[in-house]
Each structure stands twice: as structure tokens, then as C-alpha cells.
Amino acid sequence: MSGELGARRRLLEERVRAFPDFPAPGVLFRDISPLVKDPIAFRTVIDILEAHLKTHYPEIDFIAGLDSRGFLFGPVLAQRLGIGCVLIRKKGKLPGPTESVSYALEYGQAELEIQSDALEPGEKVVLVDDLLATGGTMCAACELMKKLKAEVLECVVVIELKSLKGAEKLKPFPVYSLLQYD
């Protein structure tokens, strides 16, 4: 880790709390609430993500924020980049015609959807969420992009739980994570 970037990431790590056995026994929950509460830490997340995306993807049409904590980062990041943000929601939360995908969670089943007219074929999209665990939610979001014929440039997360191998499930889509935990 480079000096300044390393120091910035350490600041973020200090703002993430761990809660064992939540929401189920054996799960170590990584809580971003203190990170969002701290304006300097939150701004640091957005600054790092903005710099990364500007460097690697000079042409992005939209950020797609995943329900629900992706909504904390996606719109702010989109605003910084001067582009729009589209919402990927849990089933039943969007009006009008939608596309949906079912997927498995670490502890259950769920469904994501997006409005059918949210993106045009060929538009370049970066998916944003707070956490990548097993990859189920992000993989479902990538499937939604495929249904709309949008191009996924990258899947961006604040935290990646490396031991759960979610990034492997997302191949060939690249994954960028600010913080990694085993």
C-alpha cells in the first residue's frame, strides 16, 4: 500500500466495527455505521473511489447503487463524477415495468430488480455496494445489467470478505474493494 493511500485506508479500517454472530451465529458482521457517521472518513471513501474510477474508466455513463447500503455511496460518487445514478432495488420497491433476478444470500433467498428503462443498451455502468461477501447480490446485479444490455465496467465495494471468494464468482467482471478482510 502506498504511503498516503495506506494512511487513508487505515483511517477507514479504524471506522469499521466487527460484530460477531450477527445476523446469525458464526457470521462476523462488518459495520460501516461509524464510517458513514464520520464526515472525514466518508469523504475519504468517496475521494478514493472517485480517483480510482477517473484513472481506470474515463468514460462511465452511470453508477448503479445496490439496495440498500450501495445507496449511501453510489449517488454521492455519481455526483462527484458528474453522471447519474440508477437504483437496483429489492423486489417490489420500484414502480413501473421492471427486470428482476433471483439469487441466493449467505442465509436465504432474495430478488433484485431494476426499472426496465433505467439503462440503454451499451451504456457503461459501475456497480457500487458497501460489501462483497459470497458475491450473490453483486452477481445478480450483473445479471440485471446483462438483461438491459448495459456494459459492466467494474464492481466497486467498500469492504470485501476475501475468504468467501465473492470476486471469483463475479469473473470476468473486475472488482475493486477499498478494504479487505479474511
* 3 state DSSP class of 25: coil
pTM (2 d.p.): 0.95
Q: Which residues contact 108 (CB under 8 A, 6 or more apart)?
A: none
69 has catalytic annotation? yes
State residue 106's pLDDT score: 62
Q: C-alpha distances in angstroms, 68 versus 6, 54, 59, 93? A: 28, 24, 25, 11
State residue 49's pLDDT score: 98
Confidence of residue 108 (pLDDT cuts 50, 70, 90): confident
Tell me: the pLDDT tens digits for 113-124? 999 999 999 999
Number of domains in the chain: 1
Instruction: Name the catalytic one among 10, 14, 17, 106.
Output: 106
Tell me: the pLDDT tens digits for 52-105? 999 999 999 999 999 999 999 999 999 999 999 999 999 999 999 999 999 987
Q: In CATH, what number is assigned to the domain containing residue 57?
A: 3.40.50.2020
Query: DSSP string spanning 32-80?
Result: -HHHHH-HHHHHHHHHHHHHHHHHH-S---EEEEETTTHHHHHHHHHHH
State residue 57's pLDDT score: 98
State residue 1's pLDDT score: 53
Q: What's the domain range around 129? A: 1-180
Instruction: Name the catalytic one among 9, 69, 99, 160.
Output: 69
113 has catalytic annotation? no
C-alpha 138: how far from chain center: 7
